[in-house]
Every structure is written in C-alpha cells, then in structure tokens.
Amino acid sequence: MTLDAESKIFLLQYKLYYEEIDVVNNEFQRGQADLLIYVTNFRENLSEEVEGQRKDFNQHFFGDRDIEEKLDFQPSPVQIPEQTEEKTNLTVAKWAKNLYRKIAIATHPDKTMHLGVPSLVKKFNKYYNTAISDYAAGQYDSLLFIGFELGLEIPAEKITEHIVPKNRALSKEIEKKKKSIAYQWQKVPEKDKNEVLEKYLTSLGYVFDKKDIEATIKRVRKIKRKVGTRPVNIIKKRIKKN
C-alpha cells in the first residue's frame, strides 16, 4: 500500500525524534555523572545547624531512589524479557509478525557484517536489536519506522495508531530531559558552575555557606585534573625547562 504524504511526514517526524532521543540521552548521562561528582564532594559542607539536613541530602541523592528520579528524569520502561516463540505467536498482530520477520532477515548481523561500511553496519545492528526487543514488548512503532527506512511495505492505517502517539510521547520525553538539571549541567560554562550549583541546591531547600560551593568547585577541578590531562601551561613550562 502506497503511503500518503501525511503518513510520510509522521514517519519523518518519528525519525527526527528517534535520532534526537539518543543525543539527549547521551548528554543527560554525561551531565548526570559530572553533576554527581560535585554533589558527592559538597555534602560534607552542609550546615550542621539545620537538623536532619545531611541525612535528607544523602537520602535524596544517594538513597534508595533511582538516580534518574533524583535528577528530574523519568526513566524509560525496563526491557521486557524475551518471550517464547509460542507465546509471541499467540499475542502478536499478524501484520507486525510479518513485518518483524522481514526486518530481521534484512538486518540480521550475518547478512550485514560484510557491507564494509562501519556506520552502515552499526545502523543495521541497531535496527535489528531494536526490532527484536520492541517486537517482544509489543511496541510496534519502531517496526513501522524501520520497515519504512528499509523500503518495506508497511500498513498505512497503523501509522496513526502507533506512530502518531509515539511522536507525542517522544516529544514530551525529550522536552522533559532537556529541562532537567542533569542535561543542562553539561552546557554550563565552568565560570558559571558556582552560581548554577548554588541555585540548584538552594531550590531544593538546603542551607549552606556560599564559600562552600566555591570550595567544592575548586576541589572537583583538582580531582578532574589528576585523572585527566595536565593543564597546558604546566606542560609548556616543563617543555621550556627541558
């Protein structure tokens, strides 16, 4: 069945969201890891005059809640374990089953590993793994998108049912992640991190001395310097001496 212009637009929108969510996730994870270094080094500087503050701080950032929740991010659903073939046959829509088989054959690693273009092999491997996990989970939007990308015939009437609502969900997820402190932290210039960290912790209700924020920033920079490369000016000085 030939897709109309509107259906193609929905699929192209899905592609943009599909690619953007990966970029946003990577930015979020890097920002999350970096921010936690600062938070970890700051917790001993909390004012002892506020009863229970340190305990609450530890519980908020290092307690039993997932770190995504602590940094304003709702995680994606966990991957559902693979279903048996017998159970899948009983629950999966016929069109999805047929499309899945075509995708699995077209993108199977044994078939694509000899393409000779690493980026293309990686792309097909991603399509293959996504199709397998989403098919098992009963999430058919990715099957429609991958089928479209591969030039396979897909049922046009299923686009409104699966692609359109997924586009809305992805748009909201991307927007929420971009607003999180973890995502934004990566984009904060070094000179502004004192102020941003201070505002963030203050917004959570913690009481501390401003100078402690500055001390934390300096301490973390020293830690990063030890595990990273030496400052350029020091290297230049050593070269001159030699």
Give tens-digit pLDDT for 60-113. 887 654 444 555 544 344 333 344 444 444 467 899 999 999 999 999 999 998
97's CB contacts (< 8 A; 6+ apart) are: 88, 89
CA atoms within 13 A on the CB side of 175: 6
CB count, 10 Å around CB of 38?
20
Number of neighbouring beta carbons within 10 Å of residue 50? 14
pLDDT band with cut points at 50, 70 and 90 for residue 57: confident
pLDDT value for 1: 58
Whether 233 shows a pLDDT value over 70: the answer reads no
pLDDT value at residue 54: 80
Which of the four pLDDT bands, split at 50, 70 and 90, describes residue 191?
confident
Paired tokens of 84: 């048996």
The pLDDT, as a whole number, for residue 61 is: 80
Which pLDDT tens digit goes with each residue over 133-179? 999 999 999 999 999 999 999 999 999 999 999 999 999 999 999 99
The count of residues in the chain is 242
Show the 3-state SS of the chain: CCCCHHHHHHHHHHHHHHHHHHHHHHHHHHHHHHHHHHHHHHHHHCCCCCCCHHHHHHHHHHCCCCHHHHCCCCCCCCCCCCCCHHHHHHHCCHHHHHHHHHHHHHHCHHHHCCCCCHHHHHHHHHHHHHHHHHHHHCCCHHHHHHHHHCCCCCCCHHHHHHHHHHHHHHHHHHHHHHHCHHHHHCCCCHHHHHHHHHHHHHHCCCCCCHHHHHHHHHHHHHHHHHHCCCCHHHHHHHHHHC
Would you state the pLDDT for residue 37?
A: 85
User: Residues 6 or more apart from 237 whose CB is under 8 A from it?
Assistant: none
Measure the CA–CA gap between 183 and 191, rounded to whole angstroms: 18
Instruction: Report pLDDT for 226.
Output: 63
CA nearest neighbour of 79 among 151, 145, 136: 136
pLDDT at 234 > cutoff 80: no
d(CA 158, CA 95): 9
Q: Tell whether the model's pLDDT for residue 53 goes beyond 60.
A: yes
- pTM of the predicted model as reported, rounded to 2 decimal places: 0.72
Predicted confidence at residue 89, as pLDDT, reads 47
The whole-chain average pLDDT of the chain stands at 82
Place of tokens 């996730």: 25
pLDDT at 197 over 90: no
What are the residues whose beta carbons fall under 8 Å from the beta carbon of 140, sequence distance 6 or more?
93, 96, 134, 158, 162
